Structure 1
């Protein structure tokens, strides 16, 4: 840093320039032969914590006229800037160079701190993503970073906007985000937004679940569909053997995406009226859809147990790539439906 300052400034001024460290040793100079030598006036500036002005040359010590100004960083003297020449000519220049060096030192330290913090964040998230993190190590990392509970861990797909999260790591087009508290719902991305956690061990569980779901991107819901999406069912489908998923998928092999959304809305609603509001359809339309689903599948979505079986089948079809219902988005009053969804007449 000191050498770079001298190399930059010295050619632009008409006076010899020296920079000394906190011991008074010359570490950068427009006269390379002086490097490594102690500077008497710098030692005085350090010990007395003030600017030293030398008006006359000292033939004994070899000291030349000039001004030596202490360098401060975080309120502590870190070195000295010396400019050789008649004090009345170089005093203001020495002060200006000192301020410039202090600014550069501050910027350098901020850059170092920022780089260290970015590395710590990357290490922490890499541990979560890879599954190598431990409860104790994660707790220590969170404390070092000053991230206070509650925390949330989220997974974002198709997020191509500018980076807006400090604690984020992008791997294979998936962005992992850890924040203090919930993150703002990213309207442009498919995402799984983690719940608030107060224990690092819960974040480890969330990370394992996100790794599982991230391996099957089709199961990650688009913005607005998260109200209709069920994480437990998505995890079950993601973890199930493919042969078992094919067996489950046969139950709903003949129903449309529209009927699949009807099932999702029924499961996410406490009453049929709420499901109607989510789907923005007429009551008769909902009845027709439920009757059609029962006719095609042999399972009645009005019966809770049979509705769950139908949903498991839908999630299995998504896992197998037979349906892509979680990748569509179109804003409704209480949720979303696929783009281009055509309304049935009542």
Structure 2
């Protein structure tokens, strides 16, 4: 931040806002001069842009200067002029018009006040700028149109080094239309993250996105409520993999019900969720209707079969005898026309359960 201030000249707009804020509290005119001694803010618009010779002396001698008798042909007025220091660097001059000895102490106080207000505004501008840059970077990664070389350059410019990971949080309940809704306190969480050089965050597509390297902070650490839906990707040093993760996350924001919620009971497949998120809405409706008649026990059977290596393992997962599991499998075939002992049929039924989750009609979380 100090480097930004050294590169950027003192803003006349910022200085004028500060003058307009302070001036009503005192009975004297206030001038703010830039590092060359030119008046950039004043209650008298006619003096803006003119050279202040007293300010030039302050800059040359790096000390306070009292102007008792202005020289002929100048716009100077009697008063006290103080150096304006920001981060220890002389950035300009603050002058208070009046009998010099009477306003000398006041000028010191005013200069300190101007310094504080300008510093605060710079910090607010810097936070706003980082927030905008983070949003633009994350949006570019997920757009699907950014070239890998450009993405790598933008990551480097943001100070983000590999391995990169991407995390996503949404509110537990989607918006009325079914799209993602950012969790409460998402904006404040993003602002805090963007104040640290190691990560970037933005609220985008109805979710809080977090981009960075290293371990992903927990929901509590970000100040988010415990009921958020959340997913994160493993770290990668390949920028195209990161871009793929970003595009996938953007698709998942269309159907936040696909994201695992708090206390998710079983395995969750990002690949299945992403595949379902890309399907047309009518296809989701058709798929969800196919498994709608299934009971909770039958749905859990599908989940167990999809995440197990054998019928015995699946039976143990749902705590039933193998024969009971086979009875459920037969009942699922009678209801859906699909025999989940066949890998292709199991994949279809499993995706149908994810389709239900996407539409918000699932009785259990997809697994």
User: What TM-score bracket applies, with the shorter chain setting the length?
Assistant: 0.7 to 0.9
Q: Is the 8 A contact 1:245 1:316 kept in 2?
A: no
User: 1:97-136 to 2 correspondence within 5 Å?
Assistant: 97-136=110-149
When residues 317 and 36 of structure 1 are mapped into structure 2, their CA distance, relative to the original with a 3 A threshold, is closer
Match of 1:344 in 2: none
Match of 1:292 in 2: 327
Cα drift, residue 45 of structure 1: 0.5
CA distance in 1, matches of 2:363, 2:135: 29
Match of 1:160 in 2: 183
Match of 1:340 in 2: none
CA RMSD, aligned part only? 3.8
Please say if 1:77 is aligned against 2:110: no
Cα drift, residue 307 of structure 1: 5.6
With normalisation by structure 2, the TM-score equals 0.72
Match of 1:263 in 2: 302
Cα drift, residue 44 of structure 1: 0.6
Match of 1:225 in 2: 264
When residues 30 and 146 of structure 1 are mapped into structure 2, their CA distance, relative to the original with a 3 A threshold, is same
Partner SS for 1:225: coil
Q: Is the 8 A contact 1:152 1:203 kept in 2?
A: yes
Match of 2:106 in 1: 93
Cα drift, residue 230 of structure 1: 1.7
Partner SS for 2:169: strand
Please say if 1:319 is aligned against 2:352: no
Partner SS for 2:342: helix
Cα drift, residue 223 of structure 1: 2.8
Partner SS for 1:229: coil
Please say if 1:53 is aligned against 2:66: yes
When residues 322 and 78 of structure 1 are mapped into structure 2, their CA distance, relative to the original with a 3 A threshold, is closer
Provide Cα deviations, 1:4-29, integer angstroms capped at 9, x if missing partner: 33333333323343221221122233
CA distance in 2, matches of 1:327, 1:296: 18
Structure 2 unaligned blocks of 5 or more: 1-13, 172-181, 194-200, 220-225
Q: Is the 8 A contact 2:258 2:358 kept in 1?
A: no
User: 1:1-346 to 2 correspondence within 5 Å?
Assistant: 1-54=14-67, 56-58=68-70, 60=72, 64-158=77-171, 159-163=182-186, 164-165=189-190, 166=193, 167-171=201-205, 173-184=206-217, 186=219, 187-225=226-264, 227-238=266-277, 255-268=294-307, 279=318, 281=319, 285-297=320-332, 306=342, 309-319=345-355, 328=364
CA distance in 2, matches of 1:258, 1:289: 11
Q: Is the 8 A contact 1:68 1:83 kept in 2?
A: yes
Partner SS for 1:221: coil
Cα drift, residue 266 of structure 1: 4.6
Q: Is the 8 A contact 2:32 2:93 kept in 1?
A: yes
Q: Is the 8 A contact 1:17 1:83 kept in 2?
A: yes
Structure 1 unaligned blocks of 5 or more: 330-335, 338-346
CA distance in 2, matches of 1:214, 1:176: 11
Cα drift, residue 136 of structure 1: 1.9
With normalisation by structure 1, the TM-score equals 0.76
When residues 84 and 258 of structure 1 are mapped into structure 2, their CA distance, relative to the original with a 3 A threshold, is same
CA distance in 1, matches of 2:229, 2:297: 20
